[in-house]
Chain A
Amino acid sequence: MGMLTQLSNPARFLSVTRPVLPAAGVIALLCLGVGSWLAFFGSPPDFRQGESVRIMYVHVPAAWGALQTYAFVAIASLIGFVWRHRLADVAAREAAPLGLAFTVLALVTGSLWGKVTWGVFWDWDPRLTSMMVLAFLYAGYLAIWRVMDEAQAARTAALLAMLGAVNLPIIKFSVEWWDTLHQKATVIRADGPAMPASMLWPLGLMTLGYAALFVFVLLLRMRSALARRRAGVPARPSRAVLEPAPEVAS
């Protein structure tokens, strides 16, 4: 907590993260570059899926990133809610669009792969449905920040983020708890990955690349949010206002 308290000082945050930014950018570029090359040219097709297995190298890290980003948003929200650390609120707010992007990427690539493999673009199976709920949670979270004033939005959005975290175990274990069209976990399972090393390498590099890209973009967004605040630019991009509902004539 000591380090977190120090980091919650915006000036200190800016100086500490300055060298992290280019480092994360370089790592992201390297991992995504080498990972993509391996994914396209340096890994075998699958014995049943054929070449469409390569969608997995984009889909799986995106889905993992979607869940990890939500966990990050929920924890930052908790710190912001209880300790009133403004920087934690900023971190949660600036991470959420990345989480939404990961979620949409996972849904779209999964849909394309599903058409090739299952024969359907979409199915209301527990894994797919809970993942779509995650996209709506992110969208709702971001909408709160757009329509409320900053102090009120921070509290309300934080509550939504924390309550919505119950969806994370549901997504993760949906394939264990229920019968699903979506397959069970391949990499993280008790008796080791059911995948050869030639596929695990590009998957691992892409996952690392996504994580580094997340750190890079998040820091960039947080730094510009702090700069905007210092310059006195209003944080709320929308002019929408919440009005009381009109009274219904009986």
Chain B
Amino acid sequence: MKATAPSRRALPFRRRQRRALLLGLVLPAFAGATALAVTAISRTQVYAYAPSALPASDELAGRTVKLGGLVEEGSLRHGAGTEVYFAVTDGAATVPVRFDGFLPSLVAEGDGAVVTGTVSSDGTFEATLVAARHDELYMAPEVADALKSTGRYDEYVAQKRR
């Protein structure tokens, strides 16, 4: 009996250390496994293809993909009805896009857009959905107008955007 008394008193301590040890092994292991998974996803998956990375139509075999980039300056024109044509560029390559449907009001030349659809055999991107991309810059309209009137708007926006 005498020998068990001290060990029983020490028991809660050992249990706590065991729980701490369990977490010390499980949590870093789980975090490490997640980090590896996240890294693997980053290397093999894209949310949207940049125009210069968009695979050719035979490579995609009619698969629906996303194309992300800037709407090229001077490329946006409206066809019959709700039909609209524009080009998406990332500076290195430009992809012509054809779309028939609801175009969000924030889709404008020089601004970002994410287009969902398929690549046709002639290289045109047949879009089924166009989403406008909004960036992290917030400004009052008067300030934007003032910057435009002094000609410093583009410079300011480029400096604030990353």
Contacts and interface: CB of A to CB of B under 8 A. Distances in A.
Interface of A: 44-49, 53, 56, 78, 81-84, 117-120, 123, 125-126, 162-163, 166, 170, 177-181, 183-186, 189, 194-196, 198-199
A117 B48 CA distance: 18
B46 A179 contact: yes
Contact of B133 (A47, A118, A185): A118
A82 B16 contact: yes
Nearest to A47: B144
Contacts of B60: none
- The secondary-structure label for the interface of chain A is loop
The 6 A-B residue pairs with the shortest CB-CB distance in the complex, in nearest-first order: A119-B104, A44-B140, A47-B144, A195-B138, A186-B136, A166-B34
Contact of B136 (A44, A123, A163, A183): A183
Given A78-B23, A118-B131, A183-B135, 7 more contacts: A81-B19, A118-B106, A125-B47, A163-B27, A179-B48, A183-B136, A185-B136
Contact of A184 (B38, B46, B162): B162
Nearest to A46: B138
Given A48-B134, A81-B19, A196 B68 contact: no
B136 A47 contact: no
B16 A83 contact: yes
B131 A44 contact: no
Contacts of B34: 166, 170
Contacts of B104: 117-119
A44 B135 CA distance: 18
A126 B38 CA distance: 11
30 contacts: A46-B138, A46-B140, A46-B141, A47-B140, A47-B144, A53-B138, A78-B23, A82-B20, A82-B23, A84-B16, A117-B104, A117-B134, A118-B131, A118-B132, A118-B133, A119-B102, A119-B131, A125-B47, A163-B26, A163-B30, A166-B31, A166-B34, A181-B114, A181-B131, A183-B136, A186-B136, A189-B136, A194-B137, A194-B138, A196-B138
